[in-house]
A and B are shown apart, each in its own frame.
Chain A
Amino acid sequence: MTKVYAMGDQKVHALRGIDLEIAPGDFTAIMGPSGSGKSTLMNLIGALDQPTSGEMLIEGHSLSTMRPDDLADLRNRTLGFVFQQFNLLPRANALQNVKLPLRYARHEQIDADARARECLELVGLGDRMDHRPAQLSGGQQQRVAIARALAGRPRIILADEPTGALDTKTSTDIMELLVKLNATGITIILVTHEPEVAEFARRRIHFRDGLIESDERRAA
């Protein structure tokens, strides 16, 4: 895939030709200098954006042929997002935040309340359900965000610098949580600048100037 942003007359080649396959259940870390195209790739994988050329497939389905509503459903059911800035709704408490994606789930009958509680328990916030984001620490907020990403029972979790706003200790906690989720079969793709964070992944891909520089796998 390539991705070119047009900024007036100028063209920014964010991705110059990426050919990548990620296996189900894998834990992949994407690294590289700032501006090398990591977030651009995550947005393409997350069905939030379309490549300039090339094709993006999830579970064999080409995203370019899907209608906007189908892409929305894909984001709702198959993918879970974790953002660097958490992106929680400030006026809603933890439970309500986790329930948010379930509002948009239209194919299945879900007990949203039970599901959200279950997800919050899983990330270790069973006792903070009625706290609002402002009443939680950064690490706790990111866990709420992870619980929210889990609420739709996704098969893939996309995390763009999930530990970027956290200290080392908290980062480790978050990464251990992701490892635990990965162990249940969820595919995890994460972007990070920190080698210690990338250590948790089985596969590490380095980007440079919109191209893959290296792609290595940790020996089991």
Chain B
Amino acid sequence: MKFSVALASAIEALFANLLRSFLTMLGIIIGVASVMTMMAMGEGAKARIDEQISALGASTLTLRPGSMRRGGRSLGAGAAKPFTESDIAVLASLPYAQAVSGQLSKSVTAVSGQTNWSTSLTGTDAAYFEIHDWTPTEGRVFTDREVRTGAAVAVIGKSIVDNLFDGTDPLGQRIRVNNVPVSVIGVLSEKGQSSFGSDRDDVIFIPLGTARNRIIGAHRTTPKNVSRIEVMVADGYDLKEAQNKLGEYMRERRRIKAGADDDFMVFNIADFVRARSATQATMGVLLAFMAAVALFVGGVGVMNIMLVSVTERTREIGLRMALGARGSDIMVQFLAEAIVLCGTGGLIGVVLGFAGSWIAAKTGGWEMSISPQITLISLGAAVAVGLFFGYFPARRAARLNPIDALRYE
């Protein structure tokens, strides 16, 4: 018997007992819908993490003075030799460094007219905006010349605009940052919340030297220092490799003896986000496992009803055998029914899965992403469940003795 013929009569059988078919499919429907939702959620969350990583600089290495730990004692960053602007200059000439930026930060009070606002100040250079792929929506960022000369200019985030300017155009206006007047030359595009929950738009950028000399006031004790250096690794270089090379290079430059601990740290921010998202991934695996369990339970339901169906139709099986059906023909017929049952359940499940993923995306705040692979895997899983759980009842039907089946009451 051709499989297409078996499929056609299996579909007929499904419609012949619509309510029962539907109830049997329910487990599969729920299983497939949850498998799909879980996978879509996993992908959506992953896409969001990737987005966060790229926002933080997917190929960026960060250097900080100090070490994580030494002899069990944690040392503050201040205890170690700081980086300086000359470090920035030499790092910029390394072949794998596409852009190098230095930073100094401080919490400050910004005042415009009568309005006060506590915010954070970052002194940096033009490379910062390149590394962070952050462009102004209004005005511009610093020029190299402004950085060199220590101009009193500021580029501000969207939240500063909202809190200090209240609707008026901030461009060209003056704000006083810890009593130092700077004029606004640019407003940056909105970045929203960071993955750590802080407002990334609540920040004022001014040139590095301006911040050090006039606001932070560190130029006397540690002239030219920067508290943090970011290196954007050029295309075609492996991030991990660059991270190792950079560490080696800095050890040499800072004359650290072999065997001695580093007095600085090189890390890539993506590692942090990934470590954090590992917990989410575990959660996702757990949910996917539960979805698989749902599918399994659905499969057991299908097997149960198939066994009932084989028993109910024993006489019919006997008749078919008397008319010349081989065991394999009977097997194919019942397998086809199990597959049709699970496949139809799978299709309905996919539709529900789309709905579930949409709701999950809405509440989770990410783009809904259902790849064709997810759909195919979910449908495939349903059909596989049909094959797996249909096999035993189908085999039982195929192994019936013709005369016993025909005389069965």
Binding site for B on A (CB under 8 A): 43, 46, 48-49, 68-69, 72-73, 75-77, 81, 87, 89, 91, 100-101, 103-105, 148, 152
B contact residues around A75 at 8 Å (CB): 321-324
Whether B5 is near chain A, meaning CB under 8 Å from some CB there, is: yes
Whether B207 is near chain A, meaning CB under 8 Å from some CB there, is: no
Contact residue among A68, A69, A81, A105 (Cβ-Cβ distance under 8 Å from B322): A81
Asked if A77 and B323 make an inter-chain contact with CB atoms under 8 angstroms apart, the answer reads no
Contact residue among A49, A87, A91, A104 (Cβ-Cβ distance under 8 Å from B324): A104
Asked if A77 and B324 make an inter-chain contact with CB atoms under 8 angstroms apart, the answer reads yes
Please give the distance in Å from A27's CB to the nearest CB on chain B. 21
Asked if B323 and A100 make an inter-chain contact with CB atoms under 8 angstroms apart, the answer reads yes
Q: A75-B324, A152-B324 are in contact. Are A103 and B403 (CB under 8 A)?
A: no
Whether B320 is near chain A, meaning CB under 8 Å from some CB there, is: yes
CA distance A91 to B268 in the complex (A): 69
Name the residue in B323, B328, B329 with the highest tally of chain A Cβ atoms < 10 Å from its Cβ. Answer: B323
A contact residues around B329 at 8 Å (CB): 72, 103-104
Binding site for A on B (CB under 8 A): 1, 5, 12, 16, 315-316, 319-329, 402-403, 406
A contact residues around B325 at 8 Å (CB): 72, 76, 103-104
CA distance A74 to B16 in the complex (A): 32
Asked if A68 and B326 make an inter-chain contact with CB atoms under 8 angstroms apart, the answer reads yes
Asked if A68 and B327 make an inter-chain contact with CB atoms under 8 angstroms apart, the answer reads yes
Asked if A104 and B323 make an inter-chain contact with CB atoms under 8 angstroms apart, the answer reads yes
* A80, closest chain B residue (CB): B323
Asked if B322 and A48 make an inter-chain contact with CB atoms under 8 angstroms apart, the answer reads yes
CA distance A101 to B322 in the complex (A): 9
Asked if B324 and A101 make an inter-chain contact with CB atoms under 8 angstroms apart, the answer reads yes
Contact residue among B5, B324, B327 (Cβ-Cβ distance under 8 Å from A76): B324
CA distance A71 to B315 in the complex (A): 19
Please give the distance in Å from B300's CB to the nearest CB on chain A. 28
Asked if B323 and A76 make an inter-chain contact with CB atoms under 8 angstroms apart, the answer reads yes
Please give the distance in Å from B324's CB to the nearest CB on chain A. 2
What are 14 A-B residue pairs whose CB atoms fall within 8 Å in the complex?
A: A49-B403, A68-B326, A69-B328, A72-B327, A75-B322, A75-B323, A81-B322, A87-B315, A87-B319, A89-B319, A91-B16, A100-B323, A101-B324, A148-B323
* A149, closest chain B residue (CB): B323
A contact residues around B326 at 8 Å (CB): 68-69, 72-73, 104
CA distance A158 to B59 in the complex (A): 83
Main DSSP-derived SS at the B contact region: helix
B contact residues around A105 at 8 Å (CB): 324
Closest 10 CB pairs of A and B: A76-B324, A101-B323, A104-B324, A72-B326, A48-B403, A49-B403, A48-B402, A75-B324, A104-B325, A69-B326
**Other contacts beyond A48-B402, A101-B324, A104-B324: 7, CB < 8 A:** A68-B326, A69-B326, A72-B325, A72-B329, A81-B323, A100-B320, A148-B323
* A89, closest chain B residue (CB): B316
B contact residues around A76 at 8 Å (CB): 323-325
Contact residue among B1, B315, B316, B402 (Cβ-Cβ distance under 8 Å from A104): B1
CA distance A100 to B329 in the complex (A): 12
Contact residue among B16, B315, B321 (Cβ-Cβ distance under 8 Å from A72): B321
A contact residues around B1 at 8 Å (CB): 103-104
A contact residues around B324 at 8 Å (CB): 72-73, 75-77, 101, 104-105, 152
CA distance A91 to B11 in the complex (A): 13
CA distance A81 to B328 in the complex (A): 21
CA distance A105 to B325 in the complex (A): 8
A contact residues around B327 at 8 Å (CB): 68-69, 72
* B322, closest chain A residue (CB): A81
* B329, closest chain A residue (CB): A104
* B325, closest chain A residue (CB): A104
* B13, closest chain A residue (CB): A91
Please give the distance in Å from B403's CB to the nearest CB on chain A. 4
Q: A68-B327, A69-B327, A72-B325 are in contact. Are A104 and B16 (CB under 8 A)?
A: no
CA distance A72 to B329 in the complex (A): 10
Asked if B316 and A46 make an inter-chain contact with CB atoms under 8 angstroms apart, the answer reads no
Name the residue in B12, B316, B403 with the highest tally of chain A Cβ atoms < 10 Å from its Cβ. Answer: B403
B contact residues around A69 at 8 Å (CB): 326-328
Q: A68-B327, A72-B326, A104-B326 are in contact. Are A48 and B406 (CB under 8 A)?
A: yes
Asked if B12 and A104 make an inter-chain contact with CB atoms under 8 angstroms apart, the answer reads no
CA distance A12 to B321 in the complex (A): 26
Please give the distance in Å from B327's CB to the nearest CB on chain A. 6
Please give the distance in Å from B408's CB to the nearest CB on chain A. 12
* A88, closest chain B residue (CB): B319
Please give the distance in Å from A202's CB to the nearest CB on chain B. 26
CA distance A75 to B402 in the complex (A): 11
Q: A91-B12, A103-B1 are in contact. Are A43 and B323 (CB under 8 A)?
A: no
CA distance A220 to B316 in the complex (A): 41
A contact residues around B402 at 8 Å (CB): 48-49
A contact residues around B321 at 8 Å (CB): 48, 72, 75
CA distance A117 to B7 in the complex (A): 24
Please give the distance in Å from A95's CB to the nearest CB on chain B. 14
B contact residues around A72 at 8 Å (CB): 321, 324-327, 329
* A154, closest chain B residue (CB): B324
* B5, closest chain A residue (CB): A103
CA distance A104 to B2 in the complex (A): 9
